[in-house]
Amino acid sequence: MKRLLLVLLSLGLVLAFSASAMAVDVKFSGDFTIGGMYVDKTRLTKDTYSGDGPSTGFFYQRLRLRTDFVVAPGLSFVTRADIMSRVWGGKRSTNTDNEPLVGSGIYTRPGSTYESENIIFDWAYINYVSPIGLFMVGYMDDNAWGTVFGDSATPAPAIAYVLPIGQFVFIAKYTKGDDNSIHRGSMSADPRYQHTDYDQDQYVLAGIYHFKAGEIGLLAKYVRAEDTYVSLGDMGRQDGFDITGLGWAPYAKLKFGPVSIQTEVNYFHGAINKLQRHDAAGWGINDYGNGLLGSTKDADVEIDNLAAYIDVLADFKQFYVGGIVAYVSGDDPDTADKKEGGFLNGGIDFNPTLIMWNFDKTYWQGDTYGFNQSGQNGPMGGSTSGADLAGAKFYQIRAGVRPTPAWDIMASLAYAVAAERPGYNAGTKVPKIERFVANDYGYEADLTATYKITSNLSYMLGGGYLWTGDYYKGYNFDSKGRVGRGNNDVSNNYLLINKLTLTF
């Protein structure tokens, strides 16, 4: 009898799940991009013992597929996958090439390059429109708010609640970063490895107000990150830091006739506490002080990071002209007890140029370095990738023409300087901060032309030229150790790119 009941129960479950599956409405959307890129210089160093930086050229592609399973009116299950993100004919990466998770560098997925070269799911969440608001639970995009400035939309596990009331929208969100509660293997019972509380969490409250001329919003974010990595000047990458902080992000999108204005300010303040380390063998966690911080006990470093931008565009349909001013504070090596850079940046979704700060260029080819690792963001910039504007002052003017509704041709000229020149402690007994010889990134001119072949298919062709600034010369020591008197010559650079994009 028990076996019969078990069989009947199994058949009932099969029928139940089959009936549910047949009732689901499935919707697909996404985009497929094929691009080609040529970079004249992958390294800006000139006439060095290793020669000038080589050139590179290749094709690449990515398919991004979103699937919405509509279970019932107002209730759906949403997934998104990146499929075959790879260089044409390029060598596959190994399964050990894992990138960091949420919010690190240019990596926009909760997995590795190895996985995305085949298929990787980065969204999986429940979307429920209830009588009291919208609930979203699961892996979804995080770190995107207001304008495109500061956005690095990255999938992360989260719980979000959205409540629209008239012209207002209220948002509450909890995001889980790293979690170290689960330990597997033989070390799990060793008390030296019990990092149960060494997690990263974010709590967000936000509000948006819509009105006739546009919208304004304000976001407040509380961040708690235990046992993380932070660079503090010449201390390098250290582990065992406890970071707590509060971020503020007001923004506005306004339109007055043909003139559109977007502006956003991001400010993050807090503290880096409990400086700790693992010894060389990884045994134990010991408190330690550092001479730069003037303490032999637990030491605190103040976080005071600011980023802001304004974008003004006058669009007369067939012609348009505009400009951008952006600023992201950099870390001052003279203030060891304060960290003014490293927590905020322009975001990987903000792509004002083709060479200096651009996601496609950096993801597929990499950052372009000069001497002393002087990439787009530099040692003190606050980014690990070069794709996002960090530690810099940025200015750009642009103008475009649409000769027909299908064409959009735009030219721009940009100039950037480092907010702080990187430096290091050149002395032991008498500390002396030596800095880069200059903070000038240089000028970049870009020209792009986009043609809409159909409503769903477009082709873009572009080129950029960088007049390389002296920032890329690094410290430029001569044979006697004098800064700025060496032979660190740098080269100008250019890039060509084309992309065919299908949306569906």
174-204 pLDDT tens trace: 999 877 665 544 444 444 444 555 678 999 9
Is a pLDDT exceeding 90 seen at residue 8? no
125: in domain = yes
170: in domain = yes
Can you point out the beta strands (E) in 402-453? 407-418, 423-425, 433-435, 440-452
Task: Give me the DSSP letters along 132-148.
Answer: TEEEEEEEEEES--SSS
Of 115 and 88, the structure prediction assigns the larger pLDDT to 88
268: in domain = yes
Kindly give, in sequence order, each residue whose CB lies less than 8 Å from that of residue 158, ignoring residues fewer than 6 positions away.
136, 137, 138, 139, 140, 142, 173, 174, 175, 176
Which pLDDT does position 290 carry in this prediction? 37
Task: Give the CA distances from residue 342 to residues 277, 384, 392, 418, in Å, rounded to whole numbers and listed in that order.
Answer: 20, 9, 12, 13
Of 408 and 375, the structure prediction assigns the larger pLDDT to 408
Determine the 3-state secondary structure of 120 from DSSP. Answer: strand
Of 309 and 98, the structure prediction assigns the larger pLDDT to 309
Kindly give, in sequence order, each residue whose CB lies less than 8 Å from that of residue 437, ignoring residues fewer than 6 positions away.
470, 473, 474, 475, 476, 483, 484, 488
Q: How far apart are CA 351 and CA 343, in angstroms?
A: 19
Which segment of 162-176, 357-371, 373-387 scores lowest on mean pLDDT? 373-387
Q: How far apart are CA 25 and CA 465, in angstroms?
A: 49
Is a pLDDT exceeding 70 seen at residue 108? no
What is the average per-residue pLDDT within 231-244? Answer: 55
CB 410 within 8 A of CB 399: yes
Which pLDDT does position 254 carry in this prediction? 98
Which pLDDT does position 436 carry in this prediction? 85
Of 373 and 346, the structure prediction assigns the larger pLDDT to 346
Mean pLDDT taken over the chain = 81
Q: What angle do CA 375, 378, 380 make, to 5 degrees?
A: 170
Which segment of 123-132, 379-388, 437-446 scores lowest on mean pLDDT? 379-388
Q: How far apart are CA 115 and CA 118, in angstroms?
A: 6
Say what percent of the chain tops pLDDT 90. 53
Is a pLDDT exceeding 50 seen at residue 234? no
Which segment of 257-266, 270-279, 431-440 scores lowest on mean pLDDT? 270-279
Task: Give the CA distances from residue 13 to residues 4, 64, 70, 75, 381, in Å, rounded to whole numbers and listed in that order.
Answer: 14, 34, 21, 22, 57
Per the confidence metrics, is the pTM higher than 0.75? Answer: yes
Which pLDDT does position 38 carry in this prediction? 97
Residue reference for tokens 């306004």: 254
pLDDT, tens digit, 9 for 90 and up, residues 272-319: 876 544 444 343 333 333 333 333 344 478 899 999 999 999 999 999
Which segment of 47-51, 250-254, 273-277 scores lowest on mean pLDDT? 273-277
Kindly give, in sequence order, each residue whose CB lies less than 8 Å from that of residue 405, ignoring residues fewer than 6 positions away.
452
Domain range spanning residue 323?
A: 24-503
Q: Name the amino acid, one letter, at 458.
A: S
Identify the CA nearest to 32 among candidates 58, 66, 57, 56: 66
Which pLDDT does position 373 carry in this prediction? 73
Residue reference for tokens 């660079």: 231
Q: How far apart are CA 341 and CA 417, in angstroms?
A: 15
Determine the 3-state secondary structure of 16 from DSSP. Answer: helix
SS (H, E, C) 208-223: EEEECCEEEEEEEEEE
Kindly give, in sequence order, each residue whose CB lies less than 8 Å from that of residue 442, ignoring residues fewer than 6 positions away.
356, 415, 416, 466, 467, 468, 469, 471, 472
Is a pLDDT exceeding 90 seen at residue 374? no
The CA-based dihedral angle spanning residues 201, 282, 230, 387, taken in that order and rounded to the nearest 10 degrees: -90
15: in domain = no
H-helix or E-strand spanning residue 165:
strand 154-165
Which segment of 106-110, 247-251, 299-303 scores lowest on mean pLDDT? 106-110
Q: What is the DSSP letter of 188?
A: G
Query: Domain containing 300 — which CATH number?
Result: 2.40.160.100
Cβ burial 261-296 (10 Å sphere, 16+ → b, else e): bbbbbbbbebebebbbeeeeeeeebeeeebebbeee
What is the average per-residue pLDDT within 372-384? Answer: 54
Give one word for 484, left, alpha or beta, with left for phi > 0 and alpha for psi -120 to 50.
left
What is the average per-residue pLDDT within 109-114? Answer: 64
Which pLDDT does position 385 carry in this prediction? 47
Is a pLDDT exceeding 90 seen at residue 63? yes
Which pLDDT does position 463 carry in this prediction? 98
What is the average per-residue pLDDT within 415-428? Answer: 78
CB 398 within 8 A of CB 321: yes
Which pLDDT does position 338 carry in this prediction? 86
H-helix or E-strand spanning residue 302:
strand 301-315
Is a pLDDT exceeding 90 seen at residue 32? yes
Which pLDDT does position 228 carry in this prediction? 54
CB 275 within 8 A of CB 299: yes
pLDDT, tens digit, 9 for 90 and up, residues 152-162: 998 999 999 99
CB 291 within 8 A of CB 284: no
SS (H, E, C) 22-37: HHCEEEEEEEEEEEEE
- Count structural domains, the chain: 1
Identify the CA nearest to 407 among candidates 457, 446, 452: 452
Is a pLDDT exceeding 90 seen at residue 382? no
CB 350 within 8 A of CB 388: yes
Is a pLDDT exceeding 90 seen at residue 334? no
The H helix count followed by the E strand count for the chain is: 3, 23
Task: Give me the DSSP letters along 61-105.
Answer: EEEEEEEEEEEETTEEEEEEEEEEEEETTPPPPPTT-PPP-TTST
Q: How far apart are CA 382 and CA 231, in angstroms?
A: 9
CB 370 within 8 A of CB 44: yes
Kindly give, in sequence order, each residue whose CB lies less than 8 Å from that of residue 181, ignoring residues fewer than 6 positions away.
196, 199
